[in-house]
């Protein structure tokens, strides 16, 4: 950590010296000190205003709605919807009642789905990035191909998967059942137990190229000399990956896993395009569940309450995750 | 130093999560009112000529473009007659309700819009639609021009209708004449027992007696409703409270799911049908029967000619039933509503008057293969084809409106999904018993709002 201290203080010292000279010339009445403190805020102001407008205000609004009884009877004059206090929250977390039970079930499904999807995406992305590190003929082409799922429009890609997963005429069953004879009869993929695995497949297919891309960029920053030195010392390929690649990628991985986690946990497009408004209960992701609780059944208060709970959960997870990974990294640095 | 860097990173990350979390939280509050602008050009006071109004049409034809081609010449006629310009937007069924909800919340919407008639009571409860009292009906020729069943599906009983019936449809049993003859079946089934017996004869060599759209919640609801009604049971009591788990409702759902499960007269693959694959299966001879509403145009599009199939009323529990037991269809259809917040109410009512006029009813229903809810238009030769005659008969004698209660959409979603899950169980070879059906319906009922 001490290593980061000097660069931090250096830029602070630089401008302050230059500015006092310039300030005198412009004869501004604002005291130098205030101007120094004020400038960063001034520069941030446009971003802050937009952030407020686009993110904070709707979010506060969503939180307010979660305390309202905003059903179809009130949507045309929603500002008059009566206060529900904590009723929406009570209903959502009464886990022995059907609404709470369904939410809890959906939550566990989403957790399992997220852990598997992020884990697999990361694993495949890392493997591909490491294998593609050395240059060989056709590497650029392969890289481009690997990025295709990331570049395709989500809707077009997922609807194609849906066609492939159809029980009777889909490509998946054609290959598994008709060609390879792996199953005794054609399994269902879009309904029932398998729907979870179908959803996971599409999700991993969709998100691993992002992991690949981020890690590939990270790998470029590891000096080649490290590997050469390690090779001289007799380290094998696994040793090199374990001792050089992984520790060097730690900052990339820290952000990558977090971002993948948040995207996957909140993913709405994939299940919505695959299953429509009502997902099978085995693949009932929380985003679809909340959508159904608010839009399809027209109970926006209840849907907002669930959203706020989800937000709180994600905040806690993120905070804990960063606390743990940062501390470990600090320890490693020290 | 260590602490401050950790905490600032935490702060930044917290902001990031908050921003990402919004994708869900913000969903419920923001409305895409940007899409629903238009139709607010100021009109000269007094005359309606020169006014521009916006019309949201639902998807009735083979595609959104097809609808535009059908409606544009008619709307041009309207502009010629009245001088009122109409901005037409055809909206797919997947988006329509969300668009209407967004318009309702923001107060910025179309002037005239199509709604599924089963949404009438729900949208009526939001107060977003102009109520059609007697004075309003007088402006468009009086309520008596419409078939009573269609009016009953335009809002809650005892209130002024929230909309005006535009297109009507009814369910019929479509059967493949050649497959019936090949199996030695002389007449189409009149009772469910006969249908199951015939279905078993027809189910062989990869062909099935019946096709059902098991993955489509709305279809599931329509059939569960009729099968329960035939047992004299409703899904809501008189106070609007859900009664999903009555023995008759459980039996109705089980009977429907058993076509795939215990009876095995429909393919297991039907459990995931949600994109009208039922029609494809019927038109291509994979299934010998289907229960569908006004399917002539779609069947034709798949290459089956009208002489190859017949249409009869959907079977009943017993032969020659009376009263509720004789109900064979819901009152299906599309209603035309005026958005309450419109600044051009008179012009909007003029458009409703035009679209529900007898000549336009003949043209539009004739093109879409639906039935005109305006009785005067029904005598037109276009609606005297064998299949439409049967469906018209069903609509006037043995069709009942779906429950017209504010919570209808929750009913559709929850029970529709419950039936879909049961179909999935049946397709996976799991036993669907009275108890499992009751448990699913109980779960659905408990998720209904208390109102």
Interface of A with B in 271-290 (CB under 8 A): 276-278, 280-281, 287, 290
- The residue among A315 and B410 whose pLDDT is bigger is A315
B18, A71: Cβ pair inside 8 Å? no
Q: What is the pLDDT of residue A81?
A: 84
ipTM of this model? Answer: 0.75
CA distance B101 to chain A (A): 8
| Residue range A62-110, pLDDT digits in tens | 999 899 888 888 887 777 888 888 888 988 888 888 888 889 999 999 9
Mean pLDDT confidence for B247-273: 95
Percent of chain A with pLDDT over 90: 40
| pTM across the whole model | 0.81
Is A307 part of the contact surface with chain B (CB cutoff 8 Å)? Answer: yes
**pLDDT, averaged across chain B:** 87
A102 contacts in chain B (CB < 8 Å): 443, 447
How does DSSP classify residue B378?
Answer: G
CA distance B392 to chain A (A): 32
pLDDT over 80 (residue A16): no
Considering Cα of B200, then B206, then B209, then B213, what sign does the dihedral take? positive
Q: What is the pLDDT of residue A151?
A: 87
Q: Which residue of B has its CA nearest to A282?
A: B421
Mean pLDDT confidence for B282-309: 92
Distance CA B34, CA B446 (A): 37
Using alpha carbons, select from A314, A51, A75, A255 the residue that is nearest to residue B25. A314
Q: What is the pLDDT of residue A9?
A: 41
Report residue B118 CA to chain centroid gap: 6
Domains of chain A: 32-154+196-333 (1.10.3720.10)
Q: What is the pLDDT of residue A24?
A: 47
Considering Cα of A257, then A260, then A265, then A271, what sign does the dihedral take? negative
Mean pLDDT confidence for B421-441: 93
Interface of A with B in 144-163 (CB under 8 A): none
Percent of chain B with pLDDT over 90: 68
Using alpha carbons, select from B419, B396, B423 the residue that is nearest to residue B235. B419
Provide the residue count of chain A. 334
B425, A102: Cβ pair inside 8 Å? no
Q: What is the pLDDT of residue A1?
A: 38
Give the confidence band of A333 by pLDDT, cuts at 50, 70, 90: low
| Residue range B149-194, pLDDT digits in tens | 899 999 998 899 999 999 999 999 999 999 999 999 999 999 999 9
- The residue among B130 and A334 whose pLDDT is bigger is B130
Q: What is the DSSP string of B132-197?
A: --HHHHHHTT-GGGB-HHHHHTSS-TTS--SSEEEEEE-EEEEEEHHHHHHTT--S--SBHHHHHH
Minimum-distance CB partner of A75 among B30, B101, B269: B101
Mean pLDDT confidence for B8-34: 45
Give the confidence band of A332 by pLDDT, cuts at 50, 70, 90: low
Give the confidence band of B143 by pLDDT, cuts at 50, 70, 90: very high
Distance CA B200, CA B259 (A): 10
Range with the poorest average pLDDT among B33-37, B210-214, B376-380:
B33-37
Q: What is the pLDDT of residue A93?
A: 87
A278 contacts in chain B (CB < 8 Å): 217, 413, 416-417, 420
pLDDT over 70 (residue B43): no
Q: What is the pLDDT of residue B107?
A: 85
pLDDT over 90 (residue B408): no
Domains of chain B: 33-169+332-400 (3.40.190.10), 171-330+407-446 (3.40.190.10)
B413, A292: Cβ pair inside 8 Å? yes
Q: What is the pLDDT of residue B17?
A: 54
CB-based contact B134:B143 (threshold 8 Å): yes
Q: What is the DSSP string of A68-105?
A: B--BTTTGGGGGGPPB-TTHHHHHHH-TTSHHHHHHHH
CA distance A125 to chain B (A): 23
Mean pLDDT confidence for B256-274: 94
CB pairs under 8 A between A and B: 188
Instruction: Give how far Cα B328 sits from Cα of A155, B215, B391, Å.
Output: 38, 22, 10
A307 contacts in chain B (CB < 8 Å): 21, 24-25, 27-28
A71 contacts in chain B (CB < 8 Å): 449, 451
CB-based contact B117:B336 (threshold 8 Å): no
Q: Which residue of A has its CA nearest to B123?
A: A72
pLDDT over 70 (residue B38): no
A327 contacts in chain B (CB < 8 Å): 6
pLDDT over 60 (residue B273): yes
- The residue among A296 and B73 whose pLDDT is bigger is B73
Mean pLDDT confidence for B312-324: 94
| Residue range A235-260, pLDDT digits in tens | 888 888 888 888 989 989 999 999 99
């Amino acid at each position: 950590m001490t290593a980061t201290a000097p660069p931090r203080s250096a830029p602070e010292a630089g401008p302050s010296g230059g500015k006092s000279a310039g300030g005198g010339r412009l004869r501004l009445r604002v005291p130098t000190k205030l101007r120094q403190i004020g400038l960063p805020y001034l520069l941030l102001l446009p971003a802050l205003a937009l952030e407020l407008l686009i993110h904070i205000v709707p979010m506060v609004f969503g939180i307010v709605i979660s305390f309202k009884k905003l059903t179809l009877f009130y949507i045309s004059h929603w500002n008059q919807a009566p206060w529900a206090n904590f009723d929406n929250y009570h209903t959502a977390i009464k886990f022995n009642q059907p609404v709470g039970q369904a939410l809890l079930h959906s939550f566990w499904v989403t957790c399992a789905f997220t852990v598997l999807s992020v884990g697999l995406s990361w694993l495949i992305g890392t493997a591909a990035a490491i294998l593609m590190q050395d240059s060989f003929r056709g590497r650029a082409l392969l890289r481009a191909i690997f990025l295709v799922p990331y570049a395709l429009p989500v809707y077009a890609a997922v609807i194609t998967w849906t066609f492939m997963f159809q029980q009777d005429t889909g490509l998946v069953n054609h290959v598994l059942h008709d060609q390879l004879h792996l199953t005794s009869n054609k399994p269902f993929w879009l309904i029932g137990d398998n729907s979870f695995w179908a959803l996971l497949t599409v999700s991993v297919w969709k998100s691993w190229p992002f992991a690949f891309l981020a890690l590939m960029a990270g790998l470029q920053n590891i000096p080649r000399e490290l590997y050469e030195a390690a090779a001289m010392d007799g380290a094998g390929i696994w040793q090199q990956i374990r001792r050089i690649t992984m520790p060097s990628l730690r900052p990339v991985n820290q952000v990558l896993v977090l971002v993948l986690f948040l995207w996957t946990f909140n993913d709405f497009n994939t299940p919505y395009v695959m299953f429509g408004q009502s997902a099978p209960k085995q693949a009932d992701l929380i985003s679809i569940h909340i959508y159904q609780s608010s839009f399809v059944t027209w109970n926006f208060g209840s849907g907002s309450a669930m959203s706020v709970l989800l937000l709180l959960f994600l905040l806690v997870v993120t905070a804990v995750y960063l606390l743990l990974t940062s501390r470990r990294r600090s320890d490693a640095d020290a | 130093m260590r602490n401050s860097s950790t905490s600032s990173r935490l702060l930044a990350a917290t902001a990031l999560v908050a921003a990402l979390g919004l994708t869900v939280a913000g969903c419920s509050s923001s409305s895409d009112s940007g899409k629903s602008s238009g139709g607010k050009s100021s009109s000269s006071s007094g005359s309606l000529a020169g006014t521009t109004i916006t019309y949201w049409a639902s998807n009735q034809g083979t595609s959104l473009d097809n609808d535009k081609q059908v409606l544009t010449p008619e709307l041009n006629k309207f502009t010629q007659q009245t001088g009122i310009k109409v901005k037409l937007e055809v909206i797919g069924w997947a988006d329509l309700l969300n668009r209407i909800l967004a318009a309702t919340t923001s107060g910025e919407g179309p002037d005239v819009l199509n709604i599924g008639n089963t949404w009438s009571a729900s949208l009526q409860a939001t107060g977003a639609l102009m109520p059609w009292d007697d004075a309003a009906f007088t402006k468009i020729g009086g309520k008596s021009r419409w078939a009573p069943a269609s009016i009953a599906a335009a809002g809650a009983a005892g209130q002024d209708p929230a909309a005006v019936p535009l297109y009507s449809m009814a369910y019929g049993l479509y059967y493949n004449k050649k497959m019936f003859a090949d199996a030695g079946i002389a007449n189409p089934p009149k009772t469910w027992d006969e249908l199951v017996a015939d279905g078993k004869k027809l189910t062989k060599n990869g062909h099935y007696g019946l096709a059902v759209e098991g993955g489509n919640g709305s279809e599931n609801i329509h059939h569960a409703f009729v099968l329960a009604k035939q047992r004299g049971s409703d899904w809501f009591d008189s106070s609007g409270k859900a009664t999903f788990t009555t023995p008759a409702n459980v039996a109705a759902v089980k009977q429907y799911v058993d076509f795939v499960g215990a009876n095995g007269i429909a393919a297991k693959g039907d459990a995931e049908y949600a994109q009208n694959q039922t029609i494809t299966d019927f038109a291509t001879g994979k299934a010998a029967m289907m229960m569908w509403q006004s399917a002539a145009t779609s069947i034709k599009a798949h290459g089956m000619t009208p002489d190859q199939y017949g249409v009869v009323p959907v079977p009943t529990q017993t032969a020659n039933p009376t009263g509720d037991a004789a109900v064979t269809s819901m009152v299906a259809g599309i209603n035309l509503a005026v958005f309450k917040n419109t600044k051009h109410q008179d012009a909007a009512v003029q458009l409703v008057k035009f679209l529900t006029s007898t000549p336009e009813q003949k043209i539009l229903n004739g093109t879409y293969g639906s039935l005109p809810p305006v009785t005067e238009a029904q005598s037109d030769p276009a609606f005297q084809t064998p299949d439409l005659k049967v469906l018209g008969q069903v609509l006037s004698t043995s069709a009942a409106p779906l429950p017209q209660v504010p919570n209808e959409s929750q009913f559709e979603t929850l029970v529709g999904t419950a039936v879909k899950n049961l179909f999935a169980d049946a397709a996976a070879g799991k036993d669907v018993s009275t108890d499992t059906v009751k448990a699913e319906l109980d779960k659905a009922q408990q998720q209904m709002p208390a109102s």
